[in-house]
């Protein structure tokens, strides 16, 4: 073959290789374009349909891996993380954004890093890990400013506004929201402008500027409505409705609540968008007295919420449901839901606190190691200084200056650490104060429910001729309670009065008192028992049955000490059954003391002094609950009472109180003396003397138990 032939073959091979390379390049570009389109498609539906967005983003990730395009692999992972964020799955959100950041740092993708850092900060913000969130936000801000990426910067300012809003720093929150709004208006990004405007209006609402908030809400409402942006339209309707509710303008609130509910019927929204609509609608229904319908909407919201990890919203909805149940008269249900909300708060607080302590321990260990390294480095410098002393004054001066600079920097760093720790302490103190306030709010609400179950003044006044009630709980809520119910037939009307001391005091005691009242109510009103001993026997069985499955080794030994008085004022008869708590009946002596003794040899009343005699009803030495004597029936005491007799029933709180000069118990003997010596006084005066005596005896000592003393004059 000639020389020209060889050149011709080489030319053909060159053309073939060139065509092959161009074809490969063409297909690589086509794959890249396909991945980018998938990512864009996924991001366009992030808010409206995060589930579908996640699925498309995974497809983009697989295509990007095939083409080995690291920038698009990272962008796909970023989009997957964002999808999980809108699905409120924060663990997966953090995982995928960290994967994206690792790749973006490797290839120096500054713009991609800014996006991933912002998204990761948002995830930590929603988990209330504000210290982590601000670290990532500040890193993201430098990336966006460096790349002049205004879209990302606008979204970042929204997130920073959210962060300052979450810690009640409203001044900085407003600054960042306004920066974001200004950037979004320049870029004509309507959707994000809506989000920023809603957030800014929410801040105005929080700082008690309802007029500014409503003006911004309504302006945004008009823009969103013209833009037919259904998601933001639903959100703005909910916010306007809530603002009008806060302003007590319920008819205006109803208009926007109805619009939100109609939108939900027409369009397919994600679950998390429906929850606020249902909550607002239920609040308005509750105000109209439509409790059953309101409860259904809250139940629906809670059902939607069970697939998310939004604990704060769960707590708010359970409190709202508790309020609806309370005003509708379902006190047991209201108390149960309130306790569920209280337990959720406690769990969330403990989880956040554990995570914060773990993070601080890690920081401490790192700082400790850095300090050791620094000490070692200082020792090496000193040794070198000794070795090179002969070099001359110039070297010594240089080393001295180096040490001074190092010391200055170390001191500056230590000061920064101290300042940071001080800020963390301040933040934690705020969290503790908020927690304490939430607990007190819950306990005060529990008090309302418990007091609603006690015997009302109206019930006692209708059924007792004259009485006093000295009731002094140790805490806000009480294990002591007093309860009454009419019983017997219409021709032989009776009134049962119970004075009881439940196991424990405070919140545990109040929960136990709820169970005890429920069992008493069922025994008297449902089982129709009228005899005092029968009431205690049946109530004991119910309490043991309720507590038998508590899962403890003791098998539920809680219950109560109490006395049951069944008055028949028509026939002047009194039945008494008592568990550990005594009952005293004081009778005034009309005739001569000796004559009374001679005529009443079999009478249970004993002469107390020249003025009064007393019948001390001895209680059975066993509680109303599980006990080794639980199969022994309670004793029935039947007494003929007279006009003017005073019956006293009490728990053990008064006589067990420590006080006086020697810090001893008051003792039951002294309490009996106090009561009988003042029995001639009007009933309300007796109560005042009891209260004054108790407070004087207690002095500066802590109250040891709940106190209840009831006096009934026949």
Q: Tens digit of pLDDT for each residue in 137-193?
A: 989 988 888 888 888 888 889 989 888 988 888 999 999 999 888 888 888 777 778
Q: Tens digit of pLDDT for each residue in 378-413?
A: 555 565 566 566 666 555 655 666 776 776 677 777
Calculate what percentage of the chain has a pLDDT beyond 90.
35
Name the nearest CA neighbour of 172 among 130, 200, 140. Answer: 200
Query: Long-range CB contacts (< 8 A, 24+ apart) of 231-237?
Result: 231/47, 231/48, 231/269, 231/273, 232/191, 232/194, 232/195, 232/198, 233/263, 234/260, 234/263, 234/264, 234/269, 234/273, 234/277, 235/198, 235/273, 235/276, 236/194, 236/198, 237/263, 237/277
State the chain's mean pLDDT as an integer.
Answer: 82
Mean pLDDT, rounded, for 126-144 = 87
User: What local confidence, expressed as pLDDT, does residue 389 receive?
Assistant: 63
Statement: residue 373 has pLDDT above 50: no
How many C-beta atoms lie closer than 10 Å to residue 612's C-beta?
18
The better pLDDT of the pair 615, 389 is held by 615
> Rounded to an integer, what distance in angstroms lies between the CA atom of residue 220 and that of residue 238?
13
Statement: residue 75 has pLDDT above 60: yes
pTM over 0.75: no
Q: What is the DSSP letter of 580?
A: B
**Contact by Cβ (8 Å): 654, 709:** yes
Report the CATH fold assignment for 457-549+558-713.
Phosphatase 2c; domain 1 (3.60.40)
Mean pLDDT, rounded, for 324-347 = 82
Statement: residue 451 has pLDDT above 80: yes
User: What local confidence, expressed as pLDDT, does residue 446 receive?
Assistant: 74
Q: How confident is the model at residue 19 (pLDDT cuts 50, 70, 90)?
A: very low
DSSP sequence for 442-487: HHHHHHHHHHHHSPPHHHHHHH-SEEEEEEE-SSSS-SEEEEEEEE
Q: Where are the domains of the chain?
A: 353-429, 457-549+558-713
The CA–CA distances, whole Å, from 319 to 147, 285, 448, 647 equal: 47, 16, 14, 42
For 398-430, give one letter per residue: b (16+ CB within 10 A) or e: ebeeeeeeeeeeeeeeeeeeeeeeeeeeeeeee
Mean pLDDT, rounded, for 53-74 = 90
Q: 606 pairs with which residues across the strands? A: 614
> Rounded to an integer, what distance in angstroms lies between the CA atom of residue 421 and that of residue 356?
12
> Rounded to an integer, what distance in angstroms lies between the CA atom of residue 710 and that of residue 683?
10
DSSP sequence for 625-636: ES-TTTTSPPPP
User: What local confidence, expressed as pLDDT, does residue 562 receive?
Assistant: 95
User: What local confidence, expressed as pLDDT, does residue 556 receive?
Assistant: 56
The 3-state DSSP class for residue 404 equals helix
Mean pLDDT, rounded, for 628-650 = 94
**Contact by Cβ (8 Å): 710, 662:** no
User: What local confidence, expressed as pLDDT, does residue 230 receive?
Assistant: 83
User: What local confidence, expressed as pLDDT, does residue 348 receive?
Assistant: 63
Which phi and psi angles does 601 have, rounded to 5°?
-60, -40
Statement: residue 672 has pLDDT above 50: yes
Statement: residue 438 has pLDDT above 80: no
First-last CA distance in the chain:
138
Q: How confident is the model at residue 26 (pLDDT cuts 50, 70, 90)?
A: very low
Name the nearest CA neighbour of 167 among 208, 201, 134. Answer: 134
Name the nearest CA neighbour of 674 among 706, 711, 701, 642. Answer: 711
Q: Tens digit of pLDDT for each residue in 477-533?
A: 889 999 999 987 777 889 999 999 998 777 888 888 888 998 999 999 888 899 999
Tracing tokens 């002294």 back to the chain, one arrives at 670
User: What local confidence, expressed as pLDDT, does residue 384 receive?
Assistant: 59
Q: How confident is the model at residue 593 (pLDDT cuts 50, 70, 90)?
A: very low
User: What local confidence, expressed as pLDDT, does residue 130 receive?
Assistant: 86
Mean pLDDT, rounded, for 628-634 = 92
Which phi and psi angles does 662 have, rounded to 5°?
-100, 0
User: What local confidence, expressed as pLDDT, does residue 506 receive?
Assistant: 77
Residues 6+ apart with CB under 8 A from 110: 143, 146, 147
3-state helix, strand, coil in the chain (%, to 5): 65, 10, 20
The better pLDDT of the pair 429, 580 is held by 580
Statement: residue 596 has pLDDT above 70: no
The better pLDDT of the pair 375, 459 is held by 459
Mean pLDDT, rounded, for 682-686 = 94
Tracing tokens 């806060």 back to the chain, one arrives at 246
Q: Tens digit of pLDDT for each residue in 97-115?
A: 999 999 999 999 998 898 8
> Rounded to an integer, what distance in angstroms lies between the CA atom of residue 84 and that of residue 585?
71
Statement: residue 297 has pLDDT above 60: yes
Strand locations in 569-685, DSSP E? Answer: 573-579, 583-588, 606-607, 612-617, 624-625, 637-640, 646-650, 658-659, 664-665
**Contact by Cβ (8 Å): 389, 399:** no
**What is the bridge-based pairing of β-strands 573-579 and 559-568?**
antiparallel
Mean pLDDT, rounded, for 207-235 = 88
User: What local confidence, expressed as pLDDT, does residue 395 receive?
Assistant: 56
Q: How confident is the model at residue 422 (pLDDT cuts 50, 70, 90)?
A: confident
> Rounded to an integer, what distance in angstroms lies between the CA atom of residue 377 and that of residue 402?
12
**Contact by Cβ (8 Å): 648, 711:** yes
The 3-state DSSP class for residue 495 equals strand
The better pLDDT of the pair 490, 4 is held by 490
The tokens for 561 are 């000490």
The CA–CA distances, whole Å, from 530 to 123, 493, 494, 710 equal: 62, 10, 8, 21
Q: 665 pairs with which residues across the strands? A: 658
CA atoms within 13 A on the CB side of 518: 17
């Amino acid at each position: 073959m000639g020389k020209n032939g060889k050149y011709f073959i080489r030319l053909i091979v060159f053309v073939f290789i060139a065509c092959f390379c161009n074809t490969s390049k063409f297909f690589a570009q086509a794959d890249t374009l396909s991945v980018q389109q998938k990512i864009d498609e996924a991001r366009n539906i992030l808010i409206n349909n995060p589930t579908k967005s996640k699925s498309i983003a995974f497809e983009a990730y697989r295509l990007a891996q095939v083409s080995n395009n690291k920038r698009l692999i990272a962008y796909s992972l970023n989009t997957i993380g964002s999808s999980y964020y809108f699905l409120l799955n924060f663990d997966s959100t953090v995982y995928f954004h960290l994967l994206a950041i690792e790749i973006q740092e490797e290839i120096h993708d500054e713009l991609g890093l800014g996006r991933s850092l912002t998204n990761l900060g948002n995830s930590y913000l929603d988990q209330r890990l504000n210290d982590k969130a601000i670290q990532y936000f500040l890193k993201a801000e430098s990336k966006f400013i460096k790349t002049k990426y205004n879209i990302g910067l606008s979204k970042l300012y929204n997130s920073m506004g959210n962060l300052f809003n979450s810690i009640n720093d409203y001044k900085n929150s407003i600054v960042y929201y306004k920066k974001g709004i200004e950037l979004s208006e320049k870029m004509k990004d309507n959707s994000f402008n809506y989000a920023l405007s809603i957030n800014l209006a929410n801040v105005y609402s929080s700082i008690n500027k309802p007029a500014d908030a409503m003006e911004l809400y309504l302006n945004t409402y008009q823009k969103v409505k013209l833009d037919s942006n259904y998601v933001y339209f639903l959100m703005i309707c909910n916010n306007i409705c809530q603002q009008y509710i806060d302003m007590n303008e319920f008819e205006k609130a109803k208009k926007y609540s109805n619009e939100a509910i109609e939108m939900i019927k027409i369009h397919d929204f994600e679950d998390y968008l429906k929850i606020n609509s249902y909550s607002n609608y239920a609040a308005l229904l509750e105000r109209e007295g439509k409790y059953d319908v309101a409860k259904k909407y809250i139940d629906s919201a809670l059902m939607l919420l069970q697939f998310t990890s939004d604990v704060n919203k769960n707590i708010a909805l359970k409190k709202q449901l508790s309020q609806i149940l309370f005003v509708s008269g379902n006190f047991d249900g209201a108390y149960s839901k309130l306790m569920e909300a209280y337990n959720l708060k406690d769990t969330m607080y403990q989880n956040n606190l554990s995570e914060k302590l773990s993070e601080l321990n890690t920081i401490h260990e790192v700082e400790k190691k850095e300090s050791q390294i620094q000490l070692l480095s200082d020792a090496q410098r000193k040794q070198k200084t000794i070795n090179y002393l002969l070099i001359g004054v110039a070297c010594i001066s240089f080393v001295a200056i180096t040490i001074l600079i190092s010391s200055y920097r170390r001191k500056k760093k230590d000061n920064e650490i101290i300042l940071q720790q001080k800020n963390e302490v301040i933040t934690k103190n705020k969290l503790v104060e908020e927690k304490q306030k939430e607990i007190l709010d819950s306990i005060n609400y529990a008090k309302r429910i418990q007091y609603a179950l006690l015997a009302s003044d109206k019930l006692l006044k209708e059924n007792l001729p004259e009485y006093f009630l000295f009731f002094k709980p140790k805490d806000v809520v009480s294990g002591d309670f007093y309860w009454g119910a009419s019983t017997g037939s219409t021709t032989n009307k009776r009134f049962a009065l119970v004075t009881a001391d439940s196991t424990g005091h405070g919140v545990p005691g109040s929960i136990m008192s709820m169970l005890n009242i429920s069992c008493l109510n069922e025994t008297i009103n449902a089982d129709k028992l009228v005899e005092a001993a029968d009431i205690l026997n049946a109530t004991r069985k119910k309490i043991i049955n309720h507590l038998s499955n508590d899962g403890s080794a003791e098998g539920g030994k809680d219950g109560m000490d109490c006395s049951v008085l069944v008055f028949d004022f028509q026939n002047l008869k009194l039945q008494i059954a008592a568990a550990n708590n005594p009952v005293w009946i004081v009778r005034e002596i009309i005739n001569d003391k000796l004559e009374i003794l001679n005529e009443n040899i079999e009478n249970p009343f004993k002469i107390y002094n020249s003025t009064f005699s007393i019948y001390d009803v001895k209680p059975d030495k066993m509680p109303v609950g599980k006990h080794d004597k639980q199969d022994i029936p309670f004793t029935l005491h039947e007494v003929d009472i007279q006009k003017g007799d005073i019956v006293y029933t009490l728990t053990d709180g008064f006589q067990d109180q420590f006080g006086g000069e020697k810090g001893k118990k008051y003792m039951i003997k002294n309490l009996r003396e106090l009561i009988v010596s003042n029995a001639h006084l009007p009933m309300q005066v007796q109560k005042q003397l009891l209260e004054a005596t108790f407070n004087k005896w207690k002095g500066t000592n802590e109250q040891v138990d709940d106190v209840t003393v009831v006096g009934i004059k026949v």
